[in-house]
Amino acid sequence: MTNNNILTIKDLHVSIQHKPIINGLNLSVSKGQVHAIMGKNGSGKSTLAKVIAGHPHYKITRGKIILNQEDVTYQDPDIRSHKGIFLAFQYPVEIPGVSNLDFLRSAYNSRQRAYNQKELDPLSFFELINKKLKSIDMDSIFLNRNVNEGFSGGEKKKNEILQMLLLNNKLSILDEIDSGLDVDALKNISKNINYLANQNNAILLITHYQRFLDYIKPDYVHIMSNGHIIYTGDADTAVQIEKYGYDYIQKI
Ligand code: ADP
Ligand code: MG
């Protein structure tokens, strides 16, 4: 029997400075699927995203993270990235002194190396990245600036999407990518995400807003509370939450 799971999380427990944040979380994402994770502030959504990507600050005290049937629970973030995990941060960091273009090319080439594929010289890369920029309606001036330095909230989010478009990911985790985007940017970025989604990859969308899920239809909507998933429904769940708030879930 073939296993279609891209991501399986089993009984995950995570703490930071001895404070438990994720408490017994289970999640299973198959190829070709889009899953949304919603939940009140502080419910552990960003922590989950960072732990899947391998953030070193968080301590996994129990459970497993399995990517394509391989246990990656204790692997370093760069190794996971080479295996196809991508995280667009809720709060992208500014990296003064590092040009965005150099950063993007180095991320691209290191992924190419990991797959034994051809690396691109600066000129060929410039051509490739310009096509991607056009598709998300981003000005090429952002290539010459330092990574995220002085970018507006929306520009930082676009820069995360640019990275997503550049790397051929198996699992893309987008943490509140919609926040800070105006409605035109939101539509454009949704179009690009839909275009990228295919039968061999999967997308995990963390969001607060049903509006985003009007543009990207999730197969499942999970509600997180106190570090685990308390409810899983279909796209309609987001509509109900928009109407009645998260307390609606607690009452089901
Ligand atoms: P969400 O993304 O759902 O809003 P987070 O995962 O960001 O929630 O945070 C969950 C809880 O963990 C919050 O109470 C937050 O303050 C705490 N937390 C997250 N990261 C850290 C950290 N680095 N140090 C201390 N507490 C943290
Ligand atoms: Mg968050």
User: Per-residue pLDDT tens for 126-163?
Assistant: 999 999 999 999 999 999 999 999 999 999 999 999 99
Residues 6+ apart with CB under 8 A from 117: none
92 CB within 6 A, ligand 1: no
| pLDDT value, residue 4 | 92
- pTM across the whole model: 0.95
**Distance between Cα 109 and ligand 1 center (Å):** 33
Cβ 116 vs Cβ 89: under 8 Å: no
Output the residue whose Cα is nearest ligand 1's atom 14: 42
| pLDDT value, residue 2 | 61
Output the residue whose Cα is nearest ligand 1's atom 16: 42
Return the domain boundaries, the chain.
34-57+75-92+151-250
φ/ψ region of 77 (left if φ > 0, alpha if ψ in -120 to 50, else beta) reads alpha
- Residue 194, amino acid: N
| pLDDT value, residue 3 | 79
- Please give the Cα distance from 119 to 113 (Å, whole number): 7
| CATH of the domain spanning 34-57+75-92+151-250, picked from 3.50.50.60, 3.40.50.300, 1.10.4190.10, 3.30.930.10 | 3.40.50.300
**pLDDT, tens digit (0-9, with 9 covering 90-100), for 93-124:** 999 999 999 999 999 999 999 999 999 999 99
Output the residue whose Cα is nearest ligand 1's atom 19: 47
44 CB within 6 A, ligand 1: yes
Cβ 167 vs Cβ 108: under 8 Å: yes
- For the chain, how far is it from start to end, CA to CA, in angstroms? 35
| pLDDT value, residue 84 | 95
| pLDDT value, residue 211 | 86
56 CB within 6 A, ligand 1: no
The two tokens of residue 51 are 């732990």
**Distance between Cα 247 and ligand 2 center (Å):** 19
**Distance between Cα 42 and ligand 1 center (Å):** 6
**pLDDT, tens digit (0-9, with 9 covering 90-100), for 207-239:** 988 889 999 999 999 999 999 999 999 999 999
Closest atom of ligand 1 to 44 CA is 6
The two tokens of residue 175 are 């943490």
57 CB within 6 A, ligand 1: yes
Report the half-sphere exposure of 59 (CA within 13 A, side-chain side): 7
Closest atom of ligand 1 to 49 CA is 6
What is the chain written as a DSSP string? Answer: ----EEEEEEEEEEEETTEEEEEEEEEEEETT-EEEEEE-TTSSHHHHHHHHHT-TTSEEEEEEEEETTEE-TT--HHHHHHTTEEEE-SSPPPEEEEEHHHHHHHHHHHHHHHTT-----HHHHHHHHHHHHHHTT--THHHHSEETTT--HHHHHHHHHHHHHHS--SEEEEESTTTT--HHHHHHHHHHHHHH--TT-EEEEE-S-HHHHHHS--SEEEEEETTEEEEEE-THHHHHHHHH-THHHHH-
According to DSSP, the β-strands at 228-233 and 220-225 are: antiparallel
Cβ 100 vs Cβ 144: under 8 Å: yes
21 CB within 6 A, ligand 1: yes
Q: How many CB atoms lie within 10 A of CB 244?
A: 11
Output the residue whose Cα is nearest ligand 1's atom 26: 16
Output the residue whose Cα is nearest ligand 1's atom 12: 21
45 CB within 6 A, ligand 1: yes
